[in-house]
Structure 1
């Protein structure tokens, strides 16, 4: 690509908000975690995070990027995981997308997004926070590590203890999940989202024997 055809963004010269706008619009699509946690008073909190992904498979681990509130108070997800180091990552499909978006509302501590979004829960097996009953899949996690990134951001790494998947999506013989049926939603830049409907197979290349 010729130099005349590129636009550079030097984050050191930009405000965090402007850098974020560029960053989130380039690193796409990002999977969405609708995370359920349990407050000390028993309230179930549900919050969406698009700074989320799988980072390890032995053991299986996921990572959440969690911001604090503008006044630097921890958000409910962060505060709840500090108190009870357990959480559930609910996978968001197209059918769940609008309710997931409602869970992004800035509610008062102690209020439950489940009531606002009209979501029902189902009990987890290995952790105390429940899962979203209508989510196509859910990962029950215990916190492994929390890393502080400055005053307002932290990284939560969780070990996956159990995965629940809707039965009609599972090929038990081959341990395969129907990706089209899962219909996962991803986050793009701004208010844009996408699904995984455009899918093709591209086998990983292998070097032929004797070829250096």
Structure 2
């Protein structure tokens, strides 16, 4: 099959792109507005962007309403966030938080999740998340216009929490982490047994 992206409808292009790039890691981002209301939402356009400085990058697509998602609005206002890594036992709760809710809804409470007080930023983390990365906004880049336009958030990592049970021999144990990834549609992938290849 060959596809001319200029001739594809936006929905079809989205499905094709997310079907190509997988599994995608999930940034489960917790933020707080200026009134102290917490927000929690997952984003699967996510990865490490730099080590010096330590930057994570994730993209928040613009909604049909043209209103910024609460996560993006909070980050722009406060400059603070926590990226929580989603383990398999937290998948159902994560899925609950991906709904579109009013700004005054606390998704922690909605999903029955305990909060963990952060060390360097105001937004709390997900207490049961095996890894929490406390961050401040480094830069936000906007691409395109209308529904599906991207807002690339570059977040500088200030503090990292790793649960004892996933820390082995001086590194994060990927098997113990049980991280899940996003596939196309409503599908997710579990961390499967890994294989190794020596770098040349």
CA drift of 1:162 comes to 1.1
Q: Which residue of 2 aligns with 1:117?
A: 111
Q: Which residue of 1 aligns with 2:161?
A: 164
Instruction: Output the TM-score relative to the length of structure 1.
Output: 0.90
CA drift of 1:190 comes to 1.0
Name which of 79, 82, 103 aligns with 1:85. Answer: 79
Q: Which residue of 2 aligns with 1:73?
A: 67
Query: Does 1:23 find its partner at 2:20?
Result: no
Unaligned runs of 5+ in 2: none
Q: In the TM superposition, what are the counterparts of 1:38-187 in structure 2 within 5 Å?
A: 38-151=32-145, 152-171=149-168, 174-187=169-182
Unaligned runs of 5+ in 1: 1-6, 206-212
Q: Which residue of 2 aligns with 1:190?
A: 185
CA contact (8 A) 1:188 1:194 kept: yes
Query: Does 1:203 find its partner at 2:198?
Result: yes
CA drift of 1:10 comes to 1.5
CA RMSD of aligned residues (A): 1.0
Between stretches 70-79 and 194-203, larger displacement belongs to 194-203
Query: What's the secondary structure of 2:196's corresponding residue?
Result: coil
Instruction: Output the TM-score relative to the length of structure 2.
Output: 0.95
Greater gyration radius: 1
Q: Which residue of 2 aligns with 1:208?
A: none
Query: What's the secondary structure of 1:80's corresponding residue?
Result: helix
Q: Report how many aligned residue pairs link the two structures.
A: 197
Deviations 1:61-98 (A, max 9, x none): 11110022211010100000010001000000100001
CA drift of 1:109 comes to 1.4
Structure 1 segments of 4 or more deviating over 3 A? none
CA contact (8 A) 1:86 1:128 kept: yes
CA contact (8 A) 2:175 2:193 kept: no
